[in-house]
Amino acid sequence: MAASGPGLSVRAGLSCGGALRRLNGVDRHKWDETARGTVAALVIYESAIFSDSASAWQAQEARYAAESRGLTPRSMTALGWRIVE
């Protein structure tokens, strides 16, 4: 199964049985150098979560960072991505 979008073609292990595709061709969300801080914070928070040493505020901040970068199902839907069979 593949994840696809503008400039993206990646094999993915999605459990829903479909491919991830954009609803429209408009690319409103790009990652560039401005995302570095958010991504760095997300890596730190996720590392703490996976090592079982995260506090509640770190877990919440990880959720906010993932949402702001379009990494959650809700934010992906808002950006025009959908799962297709």
Q: Report the mean per-residue pLDDT for the chain.
A: 74
Q: Specify the pLDDT at position 25.
A: 52
Please name every residue paired with 34 in a beta bridge, in sequence order, or none if there are none: none
| Domain hosting residue 83, numbered range | 1-29+79-85
* One domain, residues 36 and 56: yes
Confidence of residue 80 (pLDDT cuts 50, 70, 90): confident
Closest CA to 45 of 72, 69, 67, 63: 63
* One domain, residues 42 and 21: no
What total number of domains does the chain contain? 2
Question: Is 74 inside any structural domain?
Answer: no
* One domain, residues 41 and 65: yes
Phi, psi of 12 (to 5 degrees): -130, 150
Statement: residue 30 has pLDDT above 60: yes
* One domain, residues 6 and 17: yes
